[in-house]
Amino acid sequence: MVVTRERAHPRAARPGRTRALVRELRTWPTLLLLAICVLAGIPLTIALTPDQDLQILGQHIAVGARAPDLSVEGPARLVQIGNTQLDIPRLQVVGPLRPQIVMGPVQRNDAAAKALDPARSSEATGQAVDQLRTGFVNWYLLGTLGVVGTALAAAALVGCLRVLGILRREKASEHVTVADVWHRCSGTIGRMALLAVTVSLVAWGACGALAYTGTMRGLAQVRSLSDLVGGTKVTPAPVGPAVFGFEGAVIGDSRAARVGGPPVANPQGDDVACQRSADSLAAELATMVPGAVRNLACPSATIAQGLRGPQQRGSADDPVQVPAQVALLKQMQGLKFVVVAIGPNDVGWSDLIRYCYGVPTCDDNLTRGEFDYRMGAFDQDYAALLADLAELPDKPQVIVMTSYDAFPPNTDPACPDARGPAYAVGLTQDKIDLLTDRNDQLNAVLRTGAQKYGFTVAEPQLRLLCSPGSDGMGPDLQGLATPFAFHPTAIGSLRMAATVARVVDPEDG
């Protein structure tokens, strides 16, 4: 007797597989897995995929994606030197995948000159757009691998949880082993993994298509290099004749000028108009390093009006125009180091702290938006300042000083400087934490920009207002009872100078 066995044709199994996938798609563990892959896996991939480094027009540019947020549509982002991000309004993208362009320090070379040549700028801009497109596509393909890996990892995790759940339900049976459960669930886990990868790739493809469409639509409007990366101001020109005899110089605001201190004995130039003290940062620093140190700092100075542009001082009846501090720096010959103290005036620090003293809470969205706006403007101005300092004739060591906090953590609200005047609400711990956080954001910008250019960072450690105990040397900061609250005292200026002196290069300083 001949026994015949029917062999299932491969095509006959396909409908069964499809039905199994559809059934699996309706189970709550698989639905949970797909939600994890789409809602968490894709944002995680965007955040973790490394930027692609490019050389465009002689500049170092990295192409990637900005961190996802909850908005449906948003602009691409430009980070000029790794600092506060600036939106690119021309590149509006729907979905979570929004390009980000990171520019390094501006380089002056032949490739950059090509972009500025009217006869070749159109060709150079077109090549830059093509390179950006290629860089983003490469980043996207790398992210695709991340999407697949994330989906498989999530499927493995959920699959293990399903196996553990079955074992827990059937633990009363002595004949059920992990191998038995795994054999029973292996097909289910395989279908889960297939669905997770498929759905993740479909979602990732949709994100990529939306990002590509929005980016290309915006790039089609680019007609010049300034359209692509924005513009900047012309660097200040030197003012007056050459100046000799100084090893170092200090530029900055009232912290460096040391308002509230004794006036200099023999004032010169703008010493009186800028209220420079005999125990300023520059004066104290000159006692710690070889050679003379020139003080160019001036109260209320910002980068735009003070360092890179002239500043108005004096009264309305007797106005005084102080030349740009960078322009004065360019007069100086043989400089070995330059100290930079800037930032609080640019972001309106005095306005913020005054507001916090006067209202019950100062973390509202209005002031948050205003602070972010000022940080964005500061980022642009700071990038231009760093480029100016990098091009100083004698290539001095540039030392960027961070901004100190006003109050320590866990400040006693009964402290007079925290309580404020009788008519004020005063500072609570929440307000002090907010001020500290925003000062940290400012310092992050200062550090990142300095590091991008290879400049030195000095971080003064001062004894803050309302600090417990005493070291016997007096306060480092002037309190509210003084005309110049939150500015360094003579001791504070000395500590700041010591911090800078420790990082001055001995070969230069």
Question: How far apart are alpha carbons 9 and 16 in whole angstroms?
Answer: 12
**Residues 387 and 474 reside in one and the same domain:** yes
Decide: helix, strand or coil at residue 162. Answer: helix
List, in order, residues 6 or more apart from 244 with CB less than 8 Å away: 332, 333, 334
Distances from the Cα of 346 to the Cα of 307, 349, 381, 455, 478, angstroms: 11, 8, 9, 21, 21
pLDDT of amino acid 114? 58
Q: Is residue 376 exposed (0-12), middle (13-18) or buried (19+ Cβ within 10 Å)? A: middle
The DSSP result for 76-87, as a single string, is EEEESSSSS-EE
158-163: long-range contacts at Cβ-Cβ below 8 A with a sequence spacing of 24 or more?
A: 158/29, 158/30, 158/32, 158/33, 158/36, 158/192, 159/185, 159/188, 159/189, 159/192, 159/193, 161/29, 162/29, 162/188, 162/189, 163/189
In a domain, 105, yes or no: yes
Looking at the structure, tell me whether residues 418 and 326 fall in a common domain: yes
Determine the 3-state secondary structure of 142 from DSSP: helix
Beta carbons within 10 angstroms of residue 402's beta carbon: 20
What pLDDT sits at residue 337? 97
Helix/strand number for the chain, H first, E second:
15, 12
Give the distance from CA 317 to its chain's centroid. 42
Q: 60 and 98, same structural domain? A: yes
Question: What pLDDT does 233 receive?
Answer: 55
Is 392 among the domain residues? yes
Q: Does 238 reside within a domain?
A: no
pLDDT value of residue 488: 95
- In eight-state DSSP terms, residue 464 is -
Q: 205 with 263, same domain?
A: no
Q: Identify whether residues 209 and 356 lie together within a single domain.
A: no
Between the alpha carbon of residue 315 and those of residues 68, 273, 312, 423, the distances in Å are: 49, 10, 9, 29
pLDDT > 90: percent of the chain: 46
**Residue 190 sits in the same domain as residue 326:** no
Closest among 297, 300, 272, 299 to 284, alpha carbons compared: 297
Looking at the 3D structure of the chain, how many domains does it have? Answer: 2
Q: Is residue 3 part of a domain?
A: no
Show the DSSP H helices in 252-409 as ranges: 254-257, 281-286, 325-329, 349-358, 365-390
The pLDDT of residue 1 is 44
Q: Tell me, yes or no, whether 292 and 392 share the same domain.
A: yes
| Same domain (yes/no): 222, 327 | no
CB 445 within 8 A of CB 378: yes
Integer Cα distance of 323 and 429 in angstroms: 41
Per the structure, the complete domain to which residue 280 belongs is given by 246-313+321-503
Residues 349 and 490 in one domain: yes
| Residue 93 near residue 73 (C-beta atoms within 8 A) | yes
Q: What is the CATH number of the domain that holds 471?
A: 3.40.50.1110
Does a structural domain hold residue 7?
no
Claim to verify: residue 146 and residue 223 sit in the same structural domain: yes
Residue 320, strand partner residues: 313
Q: What's the distance, Cα to Cα, between the start and end of the chain in Å?
A: 105
Write out the two tokens for 226.
Answer: 């300034």
237, part of any domain: no
Give me the pLDDT at residue 221, please: 65
* End-of-domain residue from the set 170, 195, 229: 229
In a domain, 309, yes or no: yes
**Averaged pLDDT in 10-residue chunks for the chain of 509 residues:** 48 64 80 89 92 81 87 83 65 87 69 57 71 87 92 86 73 60 72 88 92 78 56 73 94 95 91 94 95 95 94 85 94 95 92 90 84 87 92 94 93 90 89 94 93 94 86 84 93 95 79
Q: Which of 229, 256, 280 corresponds to the end of one domain?
A: 229
DSSP 298-341: -TT-BTTTBTSS-EEEE-SSSEEEEPPHHHHHTTBSS--EEEEE
Work out the widest C-alpha separation in the chain, in whole angstroms. 124
Give the single-character DSSP code of 37: I
Q: Which of 194, 229, 264 is the last residue of a domain?
A: 229
Question: In 10 A of CB 44, how many CB atoms?
Answer: 17
Residue 234 falls inside a structural domain: no
Residue from 464, 466, 462, 463 nearest 417 by CA: 466
Looking at the fold, whether 147 and 268 belong to one and the same domain comes out as no
Residues 194 and 62 in one domain: yes
